[in-house]
Amino acid sequence: MARIERRAEAFPDLPLDAPDMSGLDPRDAGLVRAIDSAVTRRWLTLTTVLQSRLDRPWRNVEFGIQSALMVGAAQLLFFDRIPDHAAVDESVAHAKRVRGAKAGGFVNAVLRKVTALRAELLPTQAEAFAKARNLVPLADGRAWRLTEDVFADETVERLSQVGSVGRELLTHWISAHGFKAAVDLVRHGLVDPPLVVAGVPESLAATPEFAPHDAAGSHVFLGDLASLLAHLDANPSMRVQDAASGDPVALTRDAVREPKIILDLCAGRGTKSVQLAAAHPNATIVATDVDDARRNDLAVAARRAPNITVIAPGAVSAYFQRADLVVVDAPCSNTAVLPRRPEAAYRFTARRLSQLVSTQRSILQGAIPLLAPGGFLLYATCSLEPAENVRQCEDARRRHRLAPVAERQRFPQGVPGEPSSRYADGGFWSLMRRP
């Protein structure tokens, strides 16, 4: 609750950090992670429901009390194995500790009103999504029917509240992709993203810990974290990777013949670097990232493949006109992966989008001189925004006389109620070639 208080103060600019679970046993850590995720992913839904039970504007409620209310309401609405009294009592106890007995009484009264607001749990409500003002959709396709209409009468505002997507991003989607596609994207954002693993040996794939995914070569992992880490240590070919994110690198396996040097300029924590190493075992994969913490994690990931070399960002100039393939997995708005990056639903603004586009263009301009004659450039994002994707690549081709090879915008798949084997992130990639 202390963490949610800090995030309430920062909203809508929620940091992309994880809760500190040091010292907790695995079960408590799992509960912390689940509650934190539910509050973050359903922020606008929770605040709308809570506002309907308040006698004052939400903005006038202290951040510490906001935190106690959201953590309690998240458990009442989105968890089915936590008793109501336990969720309420923990929030009340926290409010008393940090703000006194009067605050505890206030939190108790509001959360008991939320409890009374629930009428019944309905089966899959796909057709009714965001059409009724008294339905709270759940990640598994079911919905709570409330005793009162709490969501807005105006369609776009109601969709924003029910799906917990910032209005600016929602209106941007409607403009760019149409209303129906925007609704589908909002529904997708409610799904609990599965843990998808690629490169699973046949002997493991047959065990109960793994279930087949719709995408060939991918499996949904059903076990616990400790078991997964043990499997990854024992099987270097395995990697945690969404089924869709492997498409761009898979394309280079056929299009880029026998590359000697591959530069991964925005390598992050090394997911694509490891995949590039497997796709091109005879190439040297030179990987870097501007963030020190991510580059440290990248160095750890590089131990899984002997053909990966990690360098500091300033050292890439040594590869001027030498790279057969340059990969730019660019920093982006993350709007194609909202189930994994729910903060992006609130952080999106036209100004921030413009800043990202400028950063991406700068990275691309720095990547072009590294290409050898005839070399390939792979540009990828986990965004749905045309300014970051199609228009960015059109600009790069025009400025630098690059020839298009292949390009794809992939919309995310999977909505509440569908099996986890169907789930896939969205994204964009474009392969271009220097003459």
Give the residue among 251, 231, 399 at the shortest CA–CA distance from 325: 251
Structure confidence by residue, pLDDT tens digits, 54-106: 999 999 999 999 999 999 999 999 999 999 999 999 999 999 999 999 999 99
pLDDT band at 313 (very low <50, low <70, confident <90, very high): very high
Final residue in a domain of this structure, among 119, 139, 171: 119
**130: burial class by Cβ within 10 Å (0-12, 13-18, 19+)?**
buried
Quick check: is 233 in a domain? no
In the predicted structure, residue 373 carries a pLDDT above the cut 90: yes
Instruction: Give the C-alpha separation, 320 to 87, whole Å.
Output: 59
Confidence (pLDDT) at 125? 78
**Predicted TM-score of the model (pTM):** 0.92
Residue 251: CATH number of its domain: 3.40.50.150
Quick check: is 337 in a domain? yes
Structure confidence by residue, pLDDT tens digits, 127-160: 888 899 999 999 999 999 999 999 999 999 999 9
In the predicted structure, residue 225 carries a pLDDT above the cut 90: no
**379: burial class by Cβ within 10 Å (0-12, 13-18, 19+)?**
buried
The domain of 10 spans 2-119
Q: Considering only residues 293 and 116, tell me which one the structure prediction assigns the higher pLDDT.
A: 116
Q: Are 233 and 257 in contact, with CB atoms under 8 Å apart?
A: no
Instruction: Give the C-alpha separation, 91 to 70, whole Å.
Output: 9
Quick check: is 162 in a domain? no
Quick check: is 296 in a domain? yes
Residue 84: CATH number of its domain: 1.10.940.10
Confidence (pLDDT) at 23? 92
Quick check: is 125 in a domain? no
Final residue in a domain of this structure, among 91, 119, 147: 119
pLDDT band at 190 (very low <50, low <70, confident <90, very high): very high
Quick check: is 159 in a domain? no
Which residues make beta-bridge pairs with 218? 198
In the predicted structure, residue 304 carries a pLDDT above the cut 90: no
Q: Are both 416 and 274 inside the same structural domain?
A: yes
Give kind and range of the element (H or E) at residue 324. strand 323-329
Give the residue among 92, 152, 153, 79 at the shortest CA–CA distance from 118: 79
Confidence (pLDDT) at 342? 96
Instruction: Give the C-alpha separation, 318 to 397, whole Å.
Output: 24
Quick check: is 158 in a domain? no
Confidence (pLDDT) at 241? 86
Share of the chain above pLDDT 90, in %: 85
Quick check: is 20 in a domain? yes
Taking residues 112-116, what's their average pLDDT? Answer: 98
Q: Are 120 and 113 in contact, with CB atoms under 8 Å apart?
A: no
SS3 427: strand
Q: Are both 277 and 426 inside the same structural domain?
A: yes
In the predicted structure, residue 126 carries a pLDDT above the cut 90: no
Taking residues 355-366, what's their average pLDDT? Answer: 96
The b-or-e profile of 281-307 (16+ CB within 10 A means b, else e) is eebbbbbbbeeeebbeebeebbebbeb
Confidence (pLDDT) at 368? 96
Final residue in a domain of this structure, among 119, 142, 176: 119
Instruction: Give the C-alpha separation, 387 to 73, whole Å.
Output: 37
Structure confidence by residue, pLDDT tens digits, 276-292: 998 999 999 999 999 99
Structure confidence by residue, pLDDT tens digits, 233-280: 898 888 888 888 888 998 899 899 999 999 999 999 888 898 899 899
In the predicted structure, residue 8 carries a pLDDT above the cut 90: yes
Q: Considering only residues 392 and 247, tell me which one the structure prediction assigns the higher pLDDT.
A: 392
Q: Are 391 and 422 in contact, with CB atoms under 8 Å apart?
A: no
In the predicted structure, residue 172 carries a pLDDT above the cut 90: yes
The domain total for the chain is 2
Confidence (pLDDT) at 396? 95
Instruction: Give the C-alpha separation, 197 to 363, whole Å.
Output: 30
Instruction: Give the C-alpha separation, 154 to 162, whole Å.
Output: 12
Share of the chain above pLDDT 70, in %: 100
Confidence (pLDDT) at 239? 85
Provide φ and ψ at 409, rounded to 5°: -105, 120
Contacts of 98-103 spanning 24+ positions with Cβ under 8 A: 98/64, 99/62, 99/64, 99/65, 103/62, 103/64, 103/65, 103/68
Q: What is the mean pLDDT of the chain?
A: 94
